[in-house]
Amino acid sequence: MNDVTTPKYNSSYIVAISFISALGGYLFGFDFAVIAGALPFLKTMFDLTPVQEGFLTGSLALGCIAGTLLAGSVAEKYGRKPALVSAALIFALSSVGMAFSHSLPVFISMRFAAGVGVGMASVLSPMYIAEISPASVRGRNVSINQLTIVIGILITNLVNYLLADNGPDAWRWMFGLGVVPSLLFFAGIFWLPESPRWLLKAGKKEESAKVLRKIGNEAYASSVTKDITASLINVKKQSWRMLLDKAVFPALAVGIGLAMFQQLCGINIIFNYASTIFASVGAGIDQQLLGTVGIGVVNLIFTLVAMWQVDKLGRRPLMLMGSIGLTVLYIILALALKAQMSTAWIAVFVFLAIGMYATSLAPVTWVLISEIFPNKVRAMATSMAVVFLWIGYFILTFTFPILIEAMGSTYSPFILYAVICLIGFFFVKTKVKETKGRTLEELEQVMTGH
């Protein structure tokens, strides 16, 4: 009898639209992982120097920076759905372009274009999910985006392994198959409702109410509408200068810090250069690619653990555990690589590091970035934080082959990453506030001090 007055929501519907939106994460995972399997072939095909290898790998991040900036503007002006459609189409076309590339400049251009699609999706998918999710399940739902990323990584690693014996052009199939998930994503977007928060900002109150009544009951729709409307009072015309406002900038600084830390912590070296790491201890191509499959499996298992715990343990404890855990594991991995331990032992330490990251920094960073910014600037602030995430990714992936050549070993860079993780631990401890269980509007008051 409390149905009329007690806010309730439709869990199955919310999870369904979250999964469809999170297919953008699958594209992210695909392009993230495909390079690890294709790199041995690309090195031969294009006779890559360490600088070229780093730039080819990192060119995705440069596209992601452009896509991230584009996503914020398109999402604010036209809505979340049209922006997601654009991301899917760009990704489909670039996948075909990479598969048919016959020169290094063309391939890098197409990988840059793929990055534009990935960058757009990396902002839009978690932001959209956060905006349609009730506070009590928002962490779990935004983590669905991370789940689809790791599923994309695992499936791509499996496909790479199965295609590896198909001759020197196997890499073309590896990239070309990216058109399949991008077209599925494109088709699924048309079933999604527009974000009710964007609709209210655009003055479309009736459409927003209709979406909210699909998500929950009348009481839920009324409660959320009231909260959003209050948060939008006196909102000025959108401008990037709003991010420097004293009520916004502290949250932006935390978001940028988290984004940079998630990348500079070093784990994506393992995802992108797994074959190089395993080759340094004598593993053959089959062992290298099988190792990447193992990485994908571990990543998936521990992401599921994180989804189960993020709304229970909270964001902050998981981030602290991950940063100190990776500090220790990187030191162990560096010592193991220096001692030239067997491929099996290296794989164990690599898997432990992946598991630690997947339970903490990987999903929780995206959850926090989707939560901590005020409604009036969420798209732009999220875009800015994710721009710095991709800058961090580019720096990391571009410098690794160069660091190996300069330091004369594969293990030395991991000591540097351990130091970065220790710094990250103190950053989280002193600057990051707990966000679990609060509405986006409540968090706006906490983060801005109002």
Three-state SS across 225-251? HHHHHHHCCCCCCCCHHHHHCCCCHHH
Residue with tokens 């994710």: 386
User: Residue 387's closest CA among 82, 131, 96, 64?
Assistant: 64
Whole-number average pLDDT of the chain? 87
For residue 234, the model assigns a pLDDT of: 61
For residue 210, the model assigns a pLDDT of: 92
> 112 or 222: whose pLDDT is higher?
112
Residue 10 pLDDT > 80:
yes
Average pLDDT over residues 188-212: 90
DSSP state of 166: S
Q: Hey, what are 149's tokens?
A: 């990323």
Residue 445: pLDDT band by 50, 70, 90 thresholds?
Answer: low
Residue 346: pLDDT band by 50, 70, 90 thresholds?
Answer: very high
Contact 349, 333 (CB under 8 A): yes
> 448 or 281: whose pLDDT is higher?
281
For residue 235, the model assigns a pLDDT of: 59
Average pLDDT over residues 203-226: 88
pLDDT digits (tens, 9 = 90+) for 39-81: 888 988 999 998 999 899 889 989 999 998 888 788 888 999 9
User: Domains, the chain, ranges and CATH?
Assistant: 11-192+234-448 (1.20.1250.20)
Q: How would you classify residue 282: left for phi > 0, otherwise alpha for psi between -120 and 50, otherwise beta?
A: left
Residue 123 pLDDT > 90:
no
User: In sequence order, which residues have a C-beta less than 8 Å from that of residue 143 and are 6 or more positions away?
Assistant: 303, 306, 307, 310, 363, 366, 367
User: At CA 174, angle to CA 171 and CA 177, rounded to 5?
Assistant: 140
Average pLDDT over residues 235-257: 79
Residue 1 pLDDT > 60:
no
pLDDT digits (tens, 9 = 90+) for 372-407: 888 777 778 888 898 898 899 899 989 988 998 888
Contact 73, 119 (CB under 8 A): no
For residue 449, the model assigns a pLDDT of: 56
For residue 230, the model assigns a pLDDT of: 78
User: Residue 65's closest CA among 392, 414, 440, 423?
Assistant: 392
Give the count of beta carbons closer than 10 Å to the beta carbon of residue 234.
5
For residue 153, the model assigns a pLDDT of: 87
Residue 282: pLDDT band by 50, 70, 90 thresholds?
Answer: confident
Q: Side chain identity at 48, as an amino acid letter?
A: L
